Amino acid sequence: MASSLIVRNATIVDGSGGPGFSGDLAVTDARITAVGTIPASSDGPNTVTIDAGGACLSPGFVDVHTHDDRALLRHPGMEFKLSQGCTSLVIGNCGFSAAPAAVGRTDPSGLIGVEPTWTDLDGFRAAVEAVRPSVNSMALIGHNSIRTLVMGEERRAPTVTELDTMRRHVEAAMGQGACGFSTGLIYRPGRWSQTDEVIELARAAAGGGGLYATHMRNEGDRLLTAVDEAIHIGRTAGLPVQISHHKSAGRRNWGRIGASLAKIDAANAEGADITLDVYPYTAGSGPMAQYFDVDNVDPELAEVIRFASCPAIPEYEGRMAVDLAVEEGVSAAAIIEKVLRSPKGDRTVCIQFIIDEADVEENLRHPLVMVGSDGIPDLKGRPHPRLFGTFPKVLAHYVRHRHVLSLEEAVRRMTSLSCDRFGFVDRGRVGEGQFADLVLFDPAAITDTATYDDPKQEATGISLVVVNGQIALRDGTHTGAGAGRFLHHNR
Ligand SMILES: [Zn+2]
């Protein structure tokens, strides 16, 4: 059978971490059928052939930390991901997942924000498949979403019946192909849960072969205690742990990522199974109402806040609270309070400059740290540039300029490590029989162009992205192939 796509004259960086090599690659339908030297006789009349000109051909990147649940429905072209070379996403992070849900009841967190027409993961999968998204996805089931569904905003431990209902939601999602259970223990309502509740629900995910992905209870002053809790949950519930967007937040805590990684290394040496992800920026971003007590706004945090989307006062978008404070003759905390008390103030997404650059590099040096964007896909306003720039920034800045890690190692941490961890089968490597999720880029030219001032910019230096054997992006043009699949864990 003739190949549908042949890429010749590439430097293949295959995702294993091994050195790149020169070669060609052939795709038939959704899979890679040959790697090596592909003779001209393989070209059929309908074969698309591409001369890579020596550029780097690697597995499509996997964004292990996204909040793209609703984006898959609202922006099925997922241009901000495809243009980074991303072909697969893990959704449902930080305890917020689109499923389970109650029909018509919007998640109040601000991270999902879509009116569900489904109740469970199968229903959400059908909704996503109906819009033919351009990228693959895999779902975590989120603690905050389950807890809100079952207990509302109750600030107490669940009753036996409530815990049982939550457990059944986790079990059902695992049966419908979720890859694990996620928490966001700084957020409402997750912050009101005790460790035992999380362990009970994580156990249900363990029973389905899943992992536990956590936005830990603390990422600042009590980071190490929070790491201990994550290790304890993994050990007691008996499942692997993914520590999400590993950071040491707040100036007084900078430089402590090494101690946190050492603790994780020590636990792994004693039989724990912990991996991590990081985004390559010194600012975080998320729903502002979750970070502040409106009656007692933290002045230190207020000073490092920038507005991404601010439907209450759109003129604030792209501005630092400290600059607005000077203009208005008030404190930065007063600016935050004013926004939060305004109508639609709860829909503000902020950017917070809380991370040390040296800590970002230390994270990226560690062999168990994957790349995850944590992008908030609110395209109104000025989102954090990680939404468009994460993967190219790792390759441009940390590989090419800073030499923090090699090209091959960076690709491994964006592909095979991620796929193996989250249960993407036959993905994350360039090899015969693997799915043809591919990215072709020039390692000397690839550049993230998204900035805080101008964040909605697609990267340059990526010439081709293939999803399930279909060309999704070529020379800057999105083809609209819509070849992404909503995948089942380990299937
Ligand atoms: Zn998070």
CA dihedral 42, 17, 395, 246 (to 10 degrees): 140
Q: What is the pLDDT of residues 155-198, one digit of tens each?
A: 999 999 999 999 999 999 999 999 999 999 999 999 999 999 99
Q: Give me the mean pLDDT over the 375-392 stretch.
A: 95
**What pLDDT band is residue 1 in, cutting at 50, 70 and 90?**
low
Distance 241 CA to ligand 1 centre (A): 15
Confidence grade of residue 254 (pLDDT, cut at 50, 70, 90) = very high
Give domain 61-282+354-384's CATH architecture. Alpha-Beta Barrel (3.20)
Q: Is the pLDDT of residue 40 over 90?
A: no
Assign 108 a pLDDT band (cuts: 50, 70, 90). low
Place of tokens 């636990």: 267
> What mean pLDDT is reported for the chain?
96
Interval between CA 308 and ligand 1 midpoint (Å)? 16
Residue 47 has pLDDT above 60, yes or no: yes
Residue 107 has pLDDT above 80, yes or no: no
Task: Say how many Å lie between the CA of residue 468 and the centre of ligand 1.
Answer: 29
Ligand 1 center to 315 CA (angstroms):
27
Instruction: Report the separation in Å between the CA atom of 399 and the middle of ligand 1, taken as the mean of its atom positions.
Output: 25
pLDDT at 111 over 80: no
Distance (Å) from CA 57 to ligand 1 centroid = 31
User: How far apart are the CA of 353 and the centre of ligand 1, in A?
Assistant: 15
Q: 5-59+430-446+458-478 and 61-282+354-384 share one CATH topology?
A: no
CATH architecture for the domain at 5-59+430-446+458-478:
Roll (2.30)
Q: What was the pLDDT predicted at 41?
A: 86
Q: What angle do CA 61, 111, 251 make, to 5 degrees?
A: 80
Confidence label for 105 from pLDDT (cuts 50, 70 and 90): confident
Q: Span 290-315, mean pLDDT? A: 96
Is the pLDDT assigned to residue 110 strictly greater than 60? no
Helix then strand then coil, % of the chain, to nearest 5: 35, 20, 45
Cα 61 to ligand 1 centroid, rounded to whole Å: 20
The domain ranges of the chain are 5-59+430-446+458-478, 61-282+354-384, 286-352
Band of the pLDDT at 109, cuts 50, 70, 90?
A: low
Q: What is the whole-number distance in angstroms between the Cα of residue 197 and the centre of ligand 1?
A: 19
Give residue for tokens 């980071």. 223
Cα 117 to averaged position of ligand 1 atoms, centre (Å): 25
Mean pLDDT confidence for 334-341: 98
User: Is residue 431 scored above 70 in pLDDT?
Assistant: yes
Residue-level pLDDT at 145: 95
Say if CB 15 and CB 430 are below 8 A apart.
yes
Mean pLDDT, rounded, for 453-475: 98
Task: Give whole-number Cα distances, 412 to 12, 25, 369, 387, 469, in Å.
Answer: 12, 19, 10, 21, 21
The percent of residues in the chain predicted with pLDDT above 90, rounded, is 95
- Residue 362 pLDDT greater than 90, yes or no: yes
Q: How far is the CA of 223 from the centre of ligand 1 (A)?
A: 14
* 294 Cα–ligand 1 center, Å: 21
- What is the C-alpha to C-alpha distance for residues 488 and 122, in angstroms, rounded to an integer? 10
Distance 450 CA to ligand 1 centre (A): 21
pLDDT of residue 265: 98
Q: Is the pLDDT of residue 113 over 80?
A: no
The neighbour count for residue 476, using CB atoms within 10 Å, is 10
